[in-house]
Amino acid sequence: MQGARGAAPAGHEQVVFCQDPPSGLRAIIAIYSTALGPGLGGTRFYPYPSEDAALADVLNLSRAMAYKNALASLDLGGGKAVIIGDPARLKSEALLRAYGRFVESLGGRYITACDIGTYSEDMDIVARECRYVTGRTVPNGGAGDSSVLTAFGVFQGMRAAAEHAWGSTSLDGRVVGIEG
């Protein structure tokens, strides 16, 4: 298990490049801010075209998580992680456990969760090596699939936008676009 910790890009507190050759893990963990509490953000498992593309994404996402958590009045900062590779080919228990050891090594400065390419069952595996995990399955003490709550939040945001734009929260007969 090798982790490189260098100078963080402007605005970020910490960026960790993670490698575990036996499992094939290549990941980046970015902590934007812990001013309000530990950095919370999901783990994206995605086949980035390059490490530079993965770094750009994790830096943007970790910053966005800091603002998202602050706007929700949570006592949490912003962080995010990306695992570089195709989850359909590379995801394994060994890789997820190696990733969990990297998250654990941060001592609670970063709390991980599900994102694109990772699921509650994956977080159960990460949690075998790490205490700083949310989004686990219900049988393992978690809340389960967070996508339902995410979808509800998007719907509520659409209703608020409709009220602002048209004076009513009703979306009947409206055409809306969602990005992201």
Q: How far is CA 61 from the centre of its chain?
A: 8
Q: How many CB atoms sit inside 10 A of residue 66's CB?
A: 26
CA distance 123 to 120: 5
CA distance 132 to 108: 6
Give the containing element (helix H, strand E) for 82. Answer: strand 77-84
In the residue annotation, 80 being an active-site residue is answered as yes
Which residue in the list 12, 44, 63, 80 is annotated as catalytic?
A: 80
CA-closest candidate to residue 89, choices 46, 135, 28: 46
Positive or negative, the Cα torsion across 145, 146, 151, 152?
Answer: positive
Active-site residues, by number, are: 80
